[in-house]
Structure 1
Amino acid sequence: MGSLEKNQLQQLKTEFFDLLTNKYISLSLKELAYEMIKIVSSVCDIHEAAFILEHSTKTRRRAEASFGLEWEGSPSSSHVLDLIDSYEKTSLGPLQKESKEYKDSFLVPLIIHNERKGYLYIRKKSGESRTSSFLSRVGEECEHVFNFFYHYQQISTQETRYEQLYRVTTKFHSSMDMNDVLLEVISTLKEMYPTFEYHLLLSHDYGSHEYLPIKYLQYDGDNISGAAMESYVTGTVRMEGKMEEQYSVLYAPLNGKQGIYGILQVIAPDMTLLPKEEVKFITLLAHTAGGALENAQLYHQSKKLVEDLKLINETSHRLNSSLRLTDTISFMAKQICKSFRASEVGFVLFTDGTNDKRLAGSTTFFFTSAAQQYVEFVYRKMMKEKDSLFVNEASIHLEEDLLQFRSIMAVPMMQDGMIKGATIVLHEEPYFFSFDNFKLLQSLVHHSTLAFTNSMLREELEKLVVTDYLTKLYSRSYLDEQIQKSMEQDGFGTFILIDIDNFKKVNDTYGHQIGDQIIIQIARIIKTHVRENDIGARWGGEELAVYLPSVPLRSGVQIAKRLVEKVEEYTNPKTTISCGVSFWTRDMDDCVQKLFNRADEALYKAKHLGKNQVIAQGENVVS
């Protein structure tokens, strides 16, 4: 190497040093290569020069920077690529550093980070002498600059990666929203690798993901590759690629401590754009996201469990208070509709194989004929399987033409080990209720059955207290209370006192058992011919009574006359009654006992005047 070449080599080093210290931080690889090729061609007085770097795959090379050389589609580029092919065919290995001279051209391999990343191509001027050792040293100096640049870029990229990872991890730990976690993963990757394509292949539905590229893992799904499913099953990173389509795919599992929550799919547009460092970062990001997803899911599960326990506790507390049965059922129906977004909720008592009783407080659908097929279906299944019922597609079991609701949940109401009834929950859509909904409903009904039973027993007991055991009419004490309340609240009312004519003769002729049957028959006639808010009662012995709140005297007399007619027509053996009718208004100085006395006086007149008739207060005979 002559003194000129030594001087040029020294000058080359000096200008490369200035380039690195002043500009390299802000330069891209292409800009760095361009600045270097200018320095090489200027200092070394080269006719043509170029950096040919491998771009993604070994079949795709391009000149990152050139001097005096046209590249795209030119004969010169074909000539250079032919030289590279010739060099690699005779090369002893991928790390061979020996430069080669071809007539007036020279090829120097560039070993960057222990890999041959490309070549420095030099074409000498015609007739100019350049030693191989000098051109090799030029290549080495270029190689030093590229190595320094690649090293700096690697450190800078790694620093950026881990800054991103720290930021992402911090955000993960500050959010318990699974949607936010997934969105942050995709945003980070798009920021780091904007040319890549991403999908989240999830094993469960984590809610609404309007802006996320989500697919769901299915073992028989055509859109999920074997590599993706293998990554999910084994919990390890998998790669696949298609050379002819020039892309590669990485599958990184979203691992948590308790399971795998899905797969992060990364599609790179080239085959070699995913080196080990990139794979390591993406895998670490996926692992961090998996842990965050698990934490978010556990948080939501615990929150849901607390909400469920609060619902059960609130429901149990309300039901164990002194609610009437109808209020109990109504409260439960509202709770179930609210918690499960149910369309209809029914509470049914099974009386025998063909009959059932729909409890008041159920939603209106259960009091229509359309509900019958659902109740019968639930009854048959429960009696056969002795268990709760969870049906996501009712068309399998019921007639399609009559089918209105496709999702059914039903939980038996048990007492002493026997199925006494069921809570039935319906929705129009198939697969609407989750299994968690079903388990919560079972728990709710289990905690509520005792309250239902207590409410029914309480009402039965109250009914026994205010009801005459023989006639099932109200008791005398209940009648007294209701008349007193009416006198305080209403403007007027009518009272009918009824006595069975010749009742002693009935007992003497037919016996006391038939006498009781006569009383029962007359009680049924009274129930049939009075309003729901009227009060029929047993006054004592063979005497009965009816109180008609807010009914005037004339109407009360007509009702009494109708009772007299119906008793004579329908009793067997034929029996008649006599009625005394009294009346009160707020203008009168009156009380319950005075009302009774006036009715008793009228009844006495009716019996005295021939029986089987009606006498009102202040009258002798009513015609």
Structure 2
Amino acid sequence: MKIKTARLINELRVLFFKHIQNMQGELHYETFLETFLFETKDLLGMEEVMFFKFDEWKQQFYKETSTGCFHDYNMQVPVQEYIEMILKEQKDDRDVTVSMQQEVKDFQTVIPLWDNGKVIGLTAFKERKNGSLTSLTPEEGAAFSKEFTTILKAALSISKISDEERRYKQLFKVTEKFHSSMNMDAVLGEIISTLHTVYPTFDYYLLLSHDNDSHENLPIKDLEYDSENVAALKAYVNGSIQFEDHSSENHSILYAPLKGKQGVYGVLQVIAPNTLVFPENEIEFISLLANTAGSALENAQLYQQSKRLVSDLQLINETSQHLNSNLRLSETMEYMKQKIIKSFHADQTGFILLHPGDKVSLLTGSSEFFDSEEASMYISFLKGKIDVDKESLFIGDLSIHCPNENVKYHSLMAVPMMESNDVKGFAVILHKEAYFFSFEMFKLLQSLIHHSSLAMANSMLREELEKMVITDHLTRLYSRSYLDDKMSQSMEEDEEGTFIMIDLDNFKRVNDTYGHQVGDDILIQVADLIQHNIRDTDIGARWGGEELAIYLPRVPLESGVRIAERVKDKVWEKSNPRVTISCGVSCWSKEHLDNMKEVVKRADEALYIAKNSGKNKVHVHGVL
């Protein structure tokens, strides 16, 4: 071997070891290749040195690095033809030669880079006049070529080891972080952070299959099942890595499933720019990262599910205990309403009771919305469904089910309130946003209502029993004892009040003429008219026999007289058979010493005067 050739080879070795020393063992192949080509260019006095990398999947070469401007040499026909000639002539890396007999697009020399019997790259040299390579003999050229390719292979091998060590250190660190956190956002964030560190030039997205709420600042997309992205769906369904190459956009995409033991939780999309095939040496690391992340996601999700389950059980237990503490119905329903709003973030909450004859009523605790005309569409829809199916309803978008209606609240959940296998009503919650409620929320609402139905039924029965005790069974007015209690309480707490004593005129004649059954019906008619002409805070009662009474707390005498006149007139107008009533009115106030007995006595005396002065009259007594 000539001294010149030996010197060139020695200089190449010096360049290689100098670069290794500068990089302190952490060799990056792309950086080394670019630097090494520039140094080789200077060493050999070349005009330009270019490296072509072989795409094994496409079976084509593409330009990776050049010391000059990137001319349009990429996969040109002359280059490809020349490469095919080399591949025919050379069968393995022991048969390495420098070709100088044929020029290829101004490149006088091309050195193939072999690895395990395959050409993985080509280095093309464009020489100046009197170039150093073209002056070598074939034997000298073969020696130089062999040394050059040995250095490139050594650099590639060291680079792979260095990259793998760095990546697996990173993988070890991220695995520790994965399994030290039970927060899904933290796990997802760590995936992206690791990819940023290892592949700063790549783009990545997380395609998640589960419900995700916020995930701020993370590149997350929903994994849509009707998507045209077949590769992503295939990765999710099959649980295997998929690839997509986009020659028009000059990038390659890898889809790695985030797979745990119980299933696949999403897909990691990694986009490698400026390449027509995804780098094979990166696939294993990304696959390991995705599998580790999948296990961590599964653990975090199971942890979150267990926390949610414990929270749900606590909610049901607390609610059941609270509802079974002999609360009044109004307190029971108000408590339920607050719990539902807090747990489900509902816009509207309703508790609907079903009655014979398609009648419905609202329980205390329902949102005001359900007492509006706008709510009738929702109630009618739910009643029709629950009456027939007796099943809970979970609807993501009500507008799909009611296309002809103006739907304000799209998300809906409704659970029937059962008693002895009979539907007594249903609880419903609404939200304006479509698909707002999750299926876990639906299951929780079902459990909550089922556990609460008995307590609500008990509250209703208890109040019905209490009402029976204080209510006259015929007229459904309050009993005299209840009126006495409330009137006594009012005289202690209020400033004034009015008492009205009522008697049906000639009631004996009604009984004798029409019979006692009609007489009872007349009493019921008068009682209903009284109820419809007084406030909820006023008290209508059956005093005894055909005598009725009204107590008006905090109402002055003048207003009380007007109410008595109104009731008297309504009885005359609407009773059938027509009857009349007589009324005696009295009042009390804090300005004068008084007691209930005296107030009642004055009203009774006024009634006596009304009946003896022609009946169908209102008489006032006790103007102080």
TM superposition score category, shorter chain reference: 0.7 to 0.9
Alpha-carbon deviation of 1:307? 3.2
Out of 350, 364, 381, which is 2:368 matched to?
A: 364
Residues 198-237 of structure 1 mapped to structure 2, 5 A cutoff: 198-209=204-215, 211-222=217-228, 224-225=229-230, 227-237=231-241
- Look up the SS of the partner of 1:469 in the other structure: coil
What is the alpha-carbon distance in structure 2 between the residues aligned to residue 551 and residue 73 of structure 1?
Answer: 101
What is the identity, as a one-letter code, of the residue corresponding to 2:520?
A: D
Match of 1:150 in 2: 156
What is the alpha-carbon distance in structure 2 between the residues aligned to residue 525 and residue 73 of structure 1?
Answer: 101
Match of 2:419 in 1: 415
Q: Residue 5 of structure 2 contacts residue 144 of structure 2 at CA under 8 Å; is this kept in 1? A: no
Q: Residue 109 of structure 2 contacts residue 134 of structure 2 at CA under 8 Å; is this kept in 1? A: no
Match of 2:97 in 1: 99
Match of 2:299 in 1: 295
Residues 255-274 of structure 1 mapped to structure 2, 5 A cutoff: 255-269=259-273, 274=278
- Do the aligned partners of residues 86 and 438 (structure 1) sit closer, same or farther apart at CA in structure 2, a change above 3 Å counting? closer
Residues 109-258 of structure 1 mapped to structure 2, 5 A cutoff: 110-111=113-114, 116=119, 117-119=121-123, 132-209=138-215, 211-222=217-228, 224-225=229-230, 227-241=231-245, 247-258=251-262
- Do the aligned partners of residues 134 and 611 (structure 1) sit closer, same or farther apart at CA in structure 2, a change above 3 Å counting? closer
Match of 1:60 in 2: 62
Match of 1:355 in 2: 359
Match of 2:36 in 1: 32
1:23 aligns with 2:22: yes
What is the alpha-carbon distance in structure 2 between the residues aligned to residue 520 and residue 465 of structure 1?
Answer: 18
Alpha-carbon deviation of 1:221? 2.2
Q: What are the superposed Cα offsets for residues 103-155 of structure 1, whole Å, 9 maximum, x if unpaired? A: 79876655567764445869877999866555544444444443443333222
Out of 294, 317, 322, which is 1:318 matched to?
A: 322
Q: Residue 109 of structure 2 contacts residue 133 of structure 2 at CA under 8 Å; is this kept in 1? A: no
What is the identity, as a one-letter code, of the residue corresponding to 2:268?
A: L
- Look up the SS of the partner of 1:496 in the other structure: strand
Out of 475, 479, 485, which is 2:483 matched to?
A: 479
Alpha-carbon deviation of 1:158? 1.2
Alpha-carbon deviation of 1:584? 2.2
Q: What are the superposed Cα offsets for residues 369-420 of structure 1, whole Å, 9 maximum, x if unpaired? A: 3322332222222232232233344345436254444443322222221222
- Look up the SS of the partner of 2:588 in the other structure: strand
What is the identity, as a one-letter code, of the residue corresponding to 2:554?
A: S
What is the alpha-carbon distance in structure 1 between the residues aligned to residue 340 and residue 529 of structure 2?
Answer: 41
What is the alpha-carbon distance in structure 1 between the residues aligned to residue 63 and residue 151 of structure 2?
Answer: 20
Out of 530, 535, 541, which is 1:537 matched to?
A: 541
Match of 2:441 in 1: 437
Normalised by the size of structure 1, how large is the TM-score?
0.82
Alignment identity in percent? Answer: 46
Q: Residue 120 of structure 1 contacts residue 139 of structure 1 at CA under 8 Å; is this kept in 2? A: no
What is the identity, as a one-letter code, of the residue corresponding to 2:196?
A: K
Residues 528-567 of structure 1 mapped to structure 2, 5 A cutoff: 528-557=532-561, 559-560=563-564, 563=567
- Do the aligned partners of residues 122 and 487 (structure 1) sit closer, same or farther apart at CA in structure 2, a change above 3 Å counting? closer
Could you tell me which runs of 5 or more consecutive residues in structure 1 were left unpaired when the two chains were aligned. Answer: 42-46
Q: What are the superposed Cα offsets for residues 200-258 of structure 1, whole Å, 9 maximum, x if unpaired? A: 33333423356444444445422x03x43333222222334366765433222211111
Q: Residue 587 of structure 2 contacts residue 622 of structure 2 at CA under 8 Å; is this kept in 1? A: no
Aligned residues: 604
Alpha-carbon deviation of 1:198? 2.8
Match of 1:339 in 2: 343
Alpha-carbon deviation of 1:481? 0.8
Range 607-616 or range 323-332, more displaced: 607-616
What is the alpha-carbon distance in structure 1 between the residues aligned to residue 274 and residue 5 of structure 2?
Answer: 42
What is the alpha-carbon distance in structure 2 between the residues aligned to residue 304 and residue 514 of structure 1?
Answer: 62
Could you tell me which runs of 5 or more consecutive residues in structure 2 were left unpaired when the two chains were aligned. Answer: 103-107
Range 429-438 or range 342-351, more displaced: 429-438
What is the alpha-carbon distance in structure 1 between the residues aligned to residue 575 and residue 252 of structure 2?
Answer: 95
What is the alpha-carbon distance in structure 2 between the residues aligned to residue 18 and residue 404 of structure 1?
Answer: 74
- Do the aligned partners of residues 397 and 143 (structure 1) sit closer, same or farther apart at CA in structure 2, a change above 3 Å counting? closer
- Do the aligned partners of residues 149 and 508 (structure 1) sit closer, same or farther apart at CA in structure 2, a change above 3 Å counting? closer
Q: Residue 560 of structure 1 contacts residue 614 of structure 1 at CA under 8 Å; is this kept in 2? A: yes
- Look up the SS of the partner of 1:250 in the other structure: strand
Alpha-carbon deviation of 1:283? 0.8
1:286 aligns with 2:290: yes
What is the identity, as a one-letter code, of the residue corresponding to 2:175?
A: T
Q: Residue 56 of structure 1 contacts residue 270 of structure 1 at CA under 8 Å; is this kept in 2? A: no
1:309 aligns with 2:307: no
Q: Residue 178 of structure 1 contacts residue 206 of structure 1 at CA under 8 Å; is this kept in 2? A: no
- Look up the SS of the partner of 1:422 in the other structure: strand
Alpha-carbon deviation of 1:19? 2.7
Alpha-carbon deviation of 1:333? 3.5
Q: What are the superposed Cα offsets for residues 34-89 of structure 1, whole Å, 9 maximum, x if unpaired? A: 445655x4xxxxx7598653335452357756xxxx896699xx9x9699648615
Q: Residue 232 of structure 2 contacts residue 242 of structure 2 at CA under 8 Å; is this kept in 1? A: yes
Range 293-302 or range 470-479, more displaced: 293-302
Q: Residue 9 of structure 2 contacts residue 147 of structure 2 at CA under 8 Å; is this kept in 1? A: no
Q: What are the superposed Cα offsets for residues 509-564 of structure 1, whole Å, 9 maximum, x if unpaired? A: 65544443443344334334434322222222333322222333444445445555
Q: What are the superposed Cα offsets for residues 473-532 of structure 1, whole Å, 9 maximum, x if unpaired? A: 211111111111111111222223334455556555655444434433443343344343
- Do the aligned partners of residues 37 and 408 (structure 1) sit closer, same or farther apart at CA in structure 2, a change above 3 Å counting? closer
Q: What are the superposed Cα offsets for residues 164-205 of structure 1, whole Å, 9 maximum, x if unpaired? A: 212322332344443443343233223322333333333334
- Do the aligned partners of residues 14 and 297 (structure 1) sit closer, same or farther apart at CA in structure 2, a change above 3 Å counting? closer
Match of 2:105 in 1: none
Alpha-carbon deviation of 1:611? 5.8
Q: What are the superposed Cα offsets for residues 277-296 of structure 1, whole Å, 9 maximum, x if unpaired? A: 31111111111121222222
What is the alpha-carbon distance in structure 2 between the residues aligned to residue 360 and residue 118 of structure 1?
Answer: 83
Q: Residue 261 of structure 1 contacts residue 290 of structure 1 at CA under 8 Å; is this kept in 2? A: yes
- Do the aligned partners of residues 118 and 338 (structure 1) sit closer, same or farther apart at CA in structure 2, a change above 3 Å counting? same
Range 324-333 or range 482-491, more displaced: 324-333
Match of 1:44 in 2: none
Range 357-366 or range 500-509, more displaced: 500-509
Q: Residue 50 of structure 1 contacts residue 63 of structure 1 at CA under 8 Å; is this kept in 2? A: no
What is the alpha-carbon distance in structure 1 between the residues aligned to residue 469 and residue 439 of structure 2?
Answer: 44
Q: Residue 93 of structure 2 contacts residue 115 of structure 2 at CA under 8 Å; is this kept in 1? A: no
What is the identity, as a one-letter code, of the residue corresponding to 2:450?
A: H
- Do the aligned partners of residues 589 and 292 (structure 1) sit closer, same or farther apart at CA in structure 2, a change above 3 Å counting? same
- Do the aligned partners of residues 261 and 142 (structure 1) sit closer, same or farther apart at CA in structure 2, a change above 3 Å counting? same
